[in-house]
Chain A
Amino acid sequence: MEFNFLQILLVVLVTFVAAIDQFNFLESFYRPIVIGPIVGAILGDLNTGLIIGGSYELMMIGSMPVGGAQPPNAVIGGIMATVFAISMKITDPQAALGISIPFALLGQYAVILTFTVMSPLMSKADAMAAEANTKGIEYLNYFAMGALGLLFAVVVFLGLIFGQAIGTTLTEVLPTWVWTGLGAAGGMMRFVGFAVLMKVMLSKDYWGFYFAGFALANITDSILGGASLLAIALIGIAIAIYDFQMNVKIKGLGLASKGGDSDGI
């Protein structure tokens, strides 16, 4: 493709920022409506950038990333669709988006990779916390953001230099079952987080509530979807307030102090 050095540098830089922005900071700069026109302006065709960005944005409104699901990545999708629309003189936004799909897939892989690699690194964070090393935690947060930005920048850079074919080639470097497996493992790693939390939270008294919460979520999920947790929390609050009032009352009667911690009832 016939872009000059400065154009490539600027698009890569915008990619780096947008990659971080998709999860941090404004969390709106990365949207196609913003990124399309910017990339268009850099490549000397603002109008195409506006059209691609606007069309992609309208398509996306229907499919937001809700509840942790990752669609093929919108950041790279928006950028590469604009790049290809301009370089290959494609006027149909759908067609431009279609060509960019391998890159959007690579963006998704980059996200999976970063989120997976950062999981065991949390033990490093634990060690830093144990030493009250606040600087370490700060660097860790910056490092992870930088790593994700860099991965995205590399993918877009390769696309700008080698063109459309490189996207497909790269997605085929690893067989799909590896990505399926990594994705599945990623989906299961949160259970490790839950388990550690349960180890410190769950005494014998509370097991029933754990299963009650699980069962309530199973029931409400199909009806309420994302709103389930609030409904469940309201039920939980009722139980918690009742429990609190009863125990305060018992304490007021002086029963608990005699029973002490031995719990002889």
Chain B
Amino acid sequence: MASNVTSYKNLTPANQLDKKVLNQMAWRSLFLQGSFNYQRMQAAGWLYSIIPGLKKIHTDKDDLATSMGHNLEFFNTHPFLVTFVMGIVLSLEQEKADIPMIRAVRVAAMGPLGGIGDAIFWFTLVPISAGISANLALNGSILGPFVFLAMFNVVHFGVRYWLMHWSYKMGTNAIEALTRNAKEFTRAASILGVLVVGALTSLYGGTSTVLEIPNGDSPIILQEVLDGIMPKLIPLGLTLLLYWLIKNKNWSAVKCIGLVLVLGLLGALVGFF
């Protein structure tokens, strides 16, 4: 991680990205989850998607490295709506906004899209298109799979490409007003971003224990005790522990992953998970 750098070396705003680059990035965003992993989820795929834009914007090699570094931090959003975040972030990169501002906006924008995307795609579009086409297939019609692919992907690609262009335009239009009070805006965006990270700790934190302490006829179920204090206590505790190790003990991410692996395997062996 390019650690403490908070602004780019070359602060001259770059030229507007043309339609070709925007389309190129929208295409690449199809592979957002290519290197999905448990630690940073879509981070590397996110960076992969926006590389064409970053290369155009950051002609200085150090700036490109800085930008790539902070764009590799934890990232997760709805895979079909990601171009919305891309457009806004790229408009900030193009303006050479401060890195804390770009980061805060990225985190604040990625969070809420998950629920919206699930509602549109998994709870509405898939049941409708799959329902129609599955019944076609069950009646022996070969049209089934084609109808499904067509219905689903017309919406999918329409939303993906439209959002890319729309949000980039919106970002570039809004940017001047935002950067006029850059410090205040960064602060406000950070508040929202941190609030989202706090919410993610609870909502993405599925870690719970199955441990039961024998107690005659009514064993004590540890998770119920913990939930009585506060739900999601284990995810919160682990996050704070890892934060402390990284911040105060200079642990690397790899070392933390090692710790988590050991915890997981040992925990499963003794019946904690």
Residues from 223 to 248 in A contacting B, C-beta threshold 8 Å: 224, 226-230, 232-233, 235-237, 239-241, 243-244, 247-248
Query: Is A191 close to B, CB under 8 A?
Result: yes
Contacts of A54 on B, CB cut-off 8 Å? 133-138, 144
In the assembly, what is the distance between CA of A241 and CA of B257, in Å? Answer: 37
Question: Are A229 and B114 in contact, with the CB atoms below 8 A?
Answer: yes
Query: Is A192 close to B, CB under 8 A?
Result: yes
Q: Knowing A122-B39, A193-B40, A233-B196 are in contact, say whether A34-B149 is a contact too (CB < 8 A).
A: yes
What distance in Å separates the Cβ of B231 from its nearest Cβ neighbour in chain A? 5
Contacts of A169 on B, CB cut-off 8 Å? none
Question: Are A218 and B122 in contact, with the CB atoms below 8 A?
Answer: no
Contact with A along B90-119 (1 / 0, CB 8 A): 000000000010011001100110111011
In the assembly, what is the distance between CA of A60 and CA of B246, in Å? Answer: 41
In the assembly, what is the distance between CA of A196 and CA of B127, in Å? Answer: 38
What distance in Å separates the Cβ of A265 from its nearest Cβ neighbour in chain B? 15
Name the segment of A99-107, A150-158, A176-184 touching the other chain.
Answer: A176-184
Q: Knowing A50-B142, A129-B68, A192-B260 are in contact, say whether A141-B207 is a contact too (CB < 8 A).
A: no
Query: Is A255 close to B, CB under 8 A?
Result: no
Contact with B along A29-56 (1 / 0, CB 8 A): 1010110111000000011001101110
Interchain pairs with CB closer than 8 A, number: 419
Question: Are B257 and A137 in contact, with the CB atoms below 8 A?
Answer: no
What distance in Å separates the Cβ of B73 from its nearest Cβ neighbour in chain A? 5
**Chain A at the B interface: mostly helix, strand, loop or mixed?**
helix
Cβ 8 A contact of A213, one of B43, B100, B197:
B197
Question: Are A214 and B198 in contact, with the CB atoms below 8 A?
Answer: yes
Question: Are B200 and A194 in contact, with the CB atoms below 8 A?
Answer: yes
Question: Are A210 and B194 in contact, with the CB atoms below 8 A?
Answer: yes
Question: Are B145 and A38 in contact, with the CB atoms below 8 A?
Answer: yes
Query: Is B256 close to A, CB under 8 A?
Result: yes
Question: Are B206 and A187 in contact, with the CB atoms below 8 A?
Answer: yes
Name the segment of B12-20, B162-170, B179-187, B212-220 touching the other chain.
Answer: B179-187
Smallest Cβ-Cβ distance to B2: which chain A residue:
A130
Contacts of B54 on A, CB cut-off 8 Å? 134
In the assembly, what is the distance between CA of A129 and CA of B194, in Å? Answer: 24
Query: Is B47 close to A, CB under 8 A?
Result: yes
Q: Number of contact residues on B: which range applies? A: 35 or more
Query: Is B173 close to A, CB under 8 A?
Result: no
In the assembly, what is the distance between CA of A231 and CA of B215, in Å? Answer: 41
Question: Are B247 and A185 in contact, with the CB atoms below 8 A?
Answer: no
Cβ 8 A contact of A181, one of B137, B204, B268:
B268
Question: Are B191 and A209 in contact, with the CB atoms below 8 A?
Answer: yes
Contacts of B256 on A, CB cut-off 8 Å? 192, 195
In the assembly, what is the distance between CA of A144 and CA of B31, in Å? Answer: 11
Contacts of A117 on B, CB cut-off 8 Å? 37
Question: Are A182 and B265 in contact, with the CB atoms below 8 A?
Answer: yes
Can you identify 20 A-B contacts, CB atoms within 8 angstroms? A26-B152, A58-B130, A58-B134, A66-B122, A125-B47, A134-B64, A137-B48, A185-B38, A185-B264, A187-B206, A193-B41, A194-B201, A197-B107, A201-B107, A206-B190, A214-B232, A215-B198, A229-B196, A232-B112, A248-B181
Not counting A134-B54, A191-B239, A195-B243, a sample of 19 additional A-B residue pairs whose C-beta atoms are within 8 angstroms of each other reads A29-B149, A53-B137, A57-B137, A119-B38, A120-B257, A130-B69, A137-B48, A178-B265, A185-B263, A189-B38, A200-B70, A213-B199, A226-B114, A233-B112, A240-B189, A243-B184, A243-B191, A244-B187, A247-B183
